Amino acid sequence: MFAELAEPPLDPILGLAQLLARDASPDKVDLGIGIYHDEQGKAPVLDCVKAAERWLVENQPSKRYLSSAGNPDFNLQMRGLLFPEGSDAYQRARTIQAPGGTGALRVASDLLKRLRPEGRVFIPGPTWPNHPGILKASGHEIVVYPYYDLASGALKFDAMMAALADLRANDTLLVHGCCHNPTGADLDIDQWSAVADLLEKAGAAVLVDLAYLGLGDGLEQDAAGVRLLASRLPELIVASSCSKNFAMYRERVGALTVVGGSEKDAVLAHAHTLPVIRTLYSMPPDHGAAVVAQVLDDATARAGWEVELRTMRERINTMRERLAARLAGQSARDYGFIARQRGMFTMLGISPEGVETLRRDHHVHLTSSGRVNVAGLNSKNVDRVADAIAAVSQG
């Protein structure tokens, strides 16, 4: 059975770790997988996480099974990050814990397949490369809608809306809630409103991937799109993640929130996620979610987290400005879009050959799609990286 197997292709993102490990240069720069690095080039554990872990070691009363929905405190807190407590959307929402944003997306995908077996899922082009795989694993037909113009670094909003006119009532629209991965280009509030109008008319479902909450403009600002959708549409599904905003990548902490037309509908939808989870992984691992709950439950710890999150966000946005300015100094092209975009990523239109040259000759590692993780830049490497990008890029 195994002997005949051919080598599988490397994952376009996770596979980069092998190429990075093979590069012996002391000056190598990791702009591949979406991990936040600080000014020293390290990806440390947040102080608030360390403190909560210490507390848990001393005080966690039991490791008995929870339900398939995971940690109830975590679920309440994650719901509160999406929608202000007491708001209409908060009442109409229920959250389950999932193993990372990926796990939440897979649960959502399987749930949608059960509820709308004939429906298609519309995904942006480009999108996170794992989206199609997750959706296809549940058996979905996928339609790619235009989203981003590589040449100008702007959204193709008109083309997107024209393509979405094809949405039918049993289809689902997948959107990135903020910090679009891989482009960094997000909808503004008027564009969210136009999308809500279109979805209202079509009666299609919407799945929001919100993996970067707090890393764009702030916790409230980054939730504006999802809140607008919840205020206008009866139903919504949101996959969120603590991998980035709590820097808990390997702990696999995510959540899936279902919003119903009423609280009763949300409770019912929540109940229908449980058998999906039971067959996929029975219940999520607790540790990371218990840590997040511990931080968010305690006002002082939460304030500490918000400071650490702001530090990450502001450093990313500073690096965006520095990269844009340095590139602009060497090209007729307007790179202002890099500074206007948000989140970890941008796409500069570097060809796969250019990416290979960057890796081989400059020890700068990106995905072969030309996605740059801005959060891997720092004061020491940003100018060198910009110069290398300018040397290999076409525009």
Q: Give the residue numbers annotated as catalytic, written as ranges.
A: 128, 209, 244
Strand, coil or helix: 262? coil
DSSP class of 157: H
Q: For residue 337, what are its two tokens?
A: 């879009």
**181 is a site residue for ligand LMR (CB under 6 A):** yes
Distance in Å, CB of 313 to ligand LMR, minimum: 17
Residue 130 or 191 with smaller CB distance to ligand LMR: 130
Residue 33 or 312 with smaller CB distance to ligand LMR: 33
Distance in Å, CB of 159 to ligand LMR, minimum: 24
Strands (E), the chain: 29-30, 93-99, 120-125, 141-146, 148-149, 154-155, 172-176, 205-210, 236-241, 253-259, 345-347, 364-365, 371-373
Residue type, 38: D
Q: For residue 254, what are its two tokens?
A: 């995510």
Which 326-365 residues touch ligand LMR, going by CB under 6 A? none
Helical axes 47-59 vs 299-328, angle rounded to 10°: 150
Q: For residue 46, what are its two tokens?
A: 């947040």
Residue type, 331: S
Residue 5 or 21 with smaller CB distance to ligand LMR: 21
Residue 21 or 299 with smaller CB distance to ligand LMR: 21
Q: Are 151 and 349 in contact (CB under 8 A)?
A: yes
The footprint of ligand LMR on this chain (CB under 6 A) covers a number of residues equal to 6
Residue 13 or 205 with smaller CB distance to ligand LMR: 13
Helical axes 287-297 vs 47-59, angle rounded to 10°: 110
Strands (E), 43-108: 93-99
**245 is a site residue for ligand LMR (CB under 6 A):** no
**34 is a site residue for ligand LMR (CB under 6 A):** yes
Distance in Å, CB of 353 to ligand LMR, minimum: 22
Residue 37 CB contacts under 8 Å (≥ 6 apart), including other chains: 30, 43, 375, 376, 378
**13 is a site residue for ligand LMR (CB under 6 A):** yes
Which 303-322 residues touch ligand LMR, going by CB under 6 A? none
Residue 13 or 107 with smaller CB distance to ligand LMR: 13
Tell me the residue nearest to ligand LMR as measured from the CB.
Answer: 34
Give the per-residue contact string, 115-154, with ligand LMR (x = CB under 6 A; - = no). -------------x-x------------------------
Residue type, 294: Q
Proportion of the chain in helix, strand, coil states, percent, rounded to 5: 45, 15, 40
Distance in Å, CB of 248 to ligand LMR, minimum: 13
DSSP 202-242: HT-EEEEEE--TTSSS-HHHHTHHHHHHHHH-S-EEEEEES
Distance in Å, CB of 117 to ligand LMR, minimum: 28
**210 is a site residue for ligand LMR (CB under 6 A):** no
Residue 178 or 390 with smaller CB distance to ligand LMR: 178
Q: Which of residues 29, 33, 185, 385 is near ligand LMR by CB under 6 A?
A: 33
**257 is a site residue for ligand LMR (CB under 6 A):** no
Distance in Å, CB of 128 to ligand LMR, minimum: 5
Alpha-carbon distance of 357 to 208, in angstroms, equals 36
Alpha-carbon distance of 325 to 247, in angstroms, equals 28
Distance in Å, CB of 68 to ligand LMR, minimum: 23
Q: For residue 100, what are its two tokens?
A: 């990372």
Q: Residue numbers of the site for ligand LMR (CB under 6 A)?
A: 13, 33-34, 128, 130, 181
